[in-house]
Amino acid sequence: MRHKDWMIPAMMLTLALAGGLPACAGEPDQTQWKLANFTWVKRVPAEAGAEPSTHPAPLTEAALVEVLGSVKLLSDGQEAPLFEQAELKGLAKALSEAFALARPGEDLVLLSTSRRGGGFMDPALGLTARLFVREGALNLLVHDARLDFMGRYSADRTLPDFAYGARKAASAVKLQAPGARALRADWLALPLAAPATGTTPATAPAAAPVPVSAAQPTPPGLRDPAFYEAQIQKLRALKQLRDENLITEAEYKEKRGAILKTF
């Protein structure tokens, strides 16, 4: 069994060099991703009384850019993108790695500071939010959408106590996004599309779901790089569950073997 353990890192490196996966991913004990002085993503304990989330969650960078890029901020009767596109590209990698490591009792929080509007003379404004995945949706709670704190910091190096959004306390922010459930004005449940497994011709009848244990392996040449990324994240999550004694060794070996057979 031991010889299989080094196959996964080797496979990840091969895929990374081929452009299919990022060359580096978050370490299992990593809790913070600092992208700039005032832009970061953190894994934190969920709020007291919060129901367990569906973590770890294998979300790709592309999926995160798409779903978060659809969110609009409503202010003074006008709407604007909550995130800048350039801003999202940097955040998506950190969020993808953090969600792959997050536990059911954790949330992610982020501070992102950007020149909103894209112009050189536009002020750098902060955005604070709390995120977690539950019931097939990415929950986004925003506390500050346009926090003006850099002027004060430049003057006397004073930073505010950043607040990231809370389940039990609404902020003044108003959000909307196509297809999202508005749990509050500042809290959206953004639906996550199921991972694509291939295209079925329009004339072909829909296939019935096949249990993982009985599924026939897809020829390696037809695998999408996103598929390998998802399996790697599953293996990491499975090992973490075993290391924390949340599943037995027998369950770990059974599920790990099923995942490896899909490669």
Q: Do you find a cis peptide bond into 56, omega within 30 degrees of 0? A: yes
Tokens 């991703």 belong to which residue? Answer: 33
Sheet of strand 187-191: strand arrangement? 32-36, 39-45, 106-115, 124-134, 137-147, 187-191, 181-184
Q: pLDDT below 70 — which residues of the chain?
A: 1-26, 118-120, 194-228, 263
Cα–Cα distance measured from residue 119 to residue 178, given in angstroms and rounded to the nearest whole number: 27
The DSSP output letter for 222 is G
Q: Looking at residue 222, what is its pLDDT?
A: 47
Q: Looking at residue 236, what is its pLDDT?
A: 82
Q: Looking at residue 10, what is its pLDDT?
A: 37
Each residue's pLDDT tens digit, 204-248: 344 444 444 444 444 444 455 666 677 778 888 878 777 877 788
Q: Looking at residue 115, what is its pLDDT?
A: 84
Domain boundaries, the chain: 22-191
- Could you tell me which of 67, 114, 71 has the C-alpha nearest to residue 95? 67
Under a CB-based contact definition with an 8 Å cutoff, are residues 75 and 174 in contact? yes
Q: Which residues contact 110 (CB under 8 A, 6 or more apart)?
A: 39, 40, 41, 42, 91, 95, 127, 128, 129, 131, 164
